[in-house]
Structure 1
């Protein structure tokens, strides 16, 4: 073995290290905040109360408190929804949140609108993309394409917009399961419902009858309508659920338009709920446009039911929505 040069570093002598009492240290964890086991037949409220006082559980409480505070003061609570929120069956829960006064307005991306419409039409939605993409059948069902061709054309007329046109289609057409439509129920309850699409990102843009001019005009009306909602968001809450690109970008631009036109848009709490925290929701929803941002990482089908219940409990303590 060849001889190596000697090391030039002498190990530090630890005998001179100074210590101090553990009782003098500031601590981040205390036993008072630990989880409390509950009985198997515990109520949902008891389960929520038993959660530990750390990290995501605290962020859940913080967001529920923000929603309850905003609604008790008569301020808007806007939810932005990606398609997966509808696909995991949360439409009825969100409709209930609107009916109970927790949520005032909805903004959907194109995917969410498509899935909601298919549920209203046949009670089912979503396809096995790995199979249908092989032979080009992905997204090519005729009924959905025909519906949205009508909706796009109607939405481009008379300042109607895409969300309103879709609600009118669902209300007046042959939709056996329209009672399951979040878009229709939210509109019936008086919520503003807007739909925001980027051309080429949805299946209904790639079929016969797809009119790019009508699509653009209809969703642009909804962009302006959402900007009006956000102009009135001072003291309110925006919750982005499951949209990683389109709605975060739309939200940021709506805030810019509202402020450019002289609306303050201050005191807003924004939250992002998703199984991964992506760049655009983090920067364009939680960081850049608002004073307070809350990130909750997890699955919609678990987080949203918990958030709904905790927000309802806190709102009830304030006497309900104003």
Structure 2
């Protein structure tokens, strides 16, 4: 007899409107017009070296890959990331599944960052209706279209909905020429807990 299976249909999935969030895009974003803080010591040295290498790489026509964690987005750096891509300094942006969750929640709700400790204790962490439903639907539609994880969710945000357009329309979707890459982890990202998850779809995304 097989071992008992976790029943996702028994989850009490709550709407985002009931969640306390700790980051607001209007008050917590860092505008590109704000004077940068270069810092001192080793931090300044590493930062200026990175800047020099990026400039040299782009002058030579080389790609610049920026790999970031989710907190970069959660803590309001999206305007800077967008500007770097728009101006051609970053040609490929990579993050993880949590990064795409923060990005989507900012786009959908204007807020993100639930209280992890409190909600883990309650068994409520990541169990939110809109985030799980829309991101899982986006990656399913994107799999049909032949897109990767990041492009699928980004396209849904740009369209403000889900649709399957023609190939010609797909070519006009990206806001910049930069590529995106999302590293999805099976059973780790919070949206994997919901019943609408398409496990095969996630597998397809991980292979692209």
TM-score bracket relative to the smaller structure: 0.7 to 0.9
1:150 maps to which of 137, 140, 157: 137
Whether the aligned pair in 1 keeps the contact of 2:155 and 2:174 (CA below 8 Å) is no
Whether the aligned pair in 2 keeps the contact of 1:77 and 1:105 (CA below 8 Å) is yes
Instruction: Provide closer, same or farther for how the CA distance between residues 57 and 120 of structure 1 changes in structure 2, counting only shifts above 3 A.
Output: same
In the TM superposition, 1:1-322 aligns within 5 A as: 55-173=42-160, 187-221=174-208
Q: Which aligned segments of 4 or more residues in structure 1 are displaced greater than 6 angstroms?
A: none
Partner of 1:126: helix, strand, or coil? strand
Per-residue deviation at 1:130?
Answer: 1.3
Larger Rg: 1
With CA pairs under 8 Å and 6+ residues apart, which has the higher RCO, 1 or 2?
2
Q: Given the two structures, how large is their TM-score scaled by the length of structure 1? A: 0.48
Per-residue deviation at 1:128?
Answer: 0.5
Partner of 1:188: helix, strand, or coil? coil
Q: Given the two structures, how large is their TM-score scaled by the length of structure 2? A: 0.72
Whether the aligned pair in 2 keeps the contact of 1:98 and 1:189 (CA below 8 Å) is yes
Instruction: Provide closer, same or farther for how the CA distance between residues 133 and 170 of structure 1 changes in structure 2, counting only shifts above 3 A.
Output: same
What RMSD in Å do the two structures reach over aligned CA positions? 2.3
Identify unmatched segments of 5+ residues in structure 1. Answer: 1-42, 176-185, 222-322
**Distance (whole Å) between structure 1 residues aligned to residue 146 and residue 139 of structure 2:** 12
Whether the aligned pair in 2 keeps the contact of 1:155 and 1:214 (CA below 8 Å) is no
Deviation per residue, 1:132-156 (Å, 9 max, x gap): 1122111011000111121221232
Partner of 2:61: helix, strand, or coil? coil
Deviation per residue, 1:217-248 (Å, 9 max, x gap): 12321xxxxxxxxxxxxxxxxxxxxxxxxxxx
**Distance (whole Å) between structure 2 residues aligned to residue 122 and residue 190 of structure 1:** 26
**Distance (whole Å) between structure 2 residues aligned to residue 106 and residue 128 of structure 1:** 27
**Distance (whole Å) between structure 2 residues aligned to residue 197 and residue 101 of structure 1:** 26
Query: What is the match of residue 308 of structure 1?
Result: none
**Distance (whole Å) between structure 2 residues aligned to residue 115 and residue 189 of structure 1:** 20
**Distance (whole Å) between structure 2 residues aligned to residue 170 and residue 189 of structure 1:** 14
Per-residue deviation at 1:173?
Answer: 2.1
Query: What is the match of residue 14 of structure 2?
Result: none
Query: What is the match of residue 303 of structure 1?
Result: none
Partner of 1:149: helix, strand, or coil? helix
Identify unmatched segments of 5+ residues in structure 2. Answer: 1-33, 163-172
Partner of 1:106: helix, strand, or coil? strand
Per-residue deviation at 1:101?
Answer: 2.0
Whether the aligned pair in 2 keeps the contact of 1:107 and 1:195 (CA below 8 Å) is yes
Per-residue deviation at 1:84?
Answer: 0.7
**Distance (whole Å) between structure 1 residues aligned to residue 142 and residue 55 of structure 2:** 34
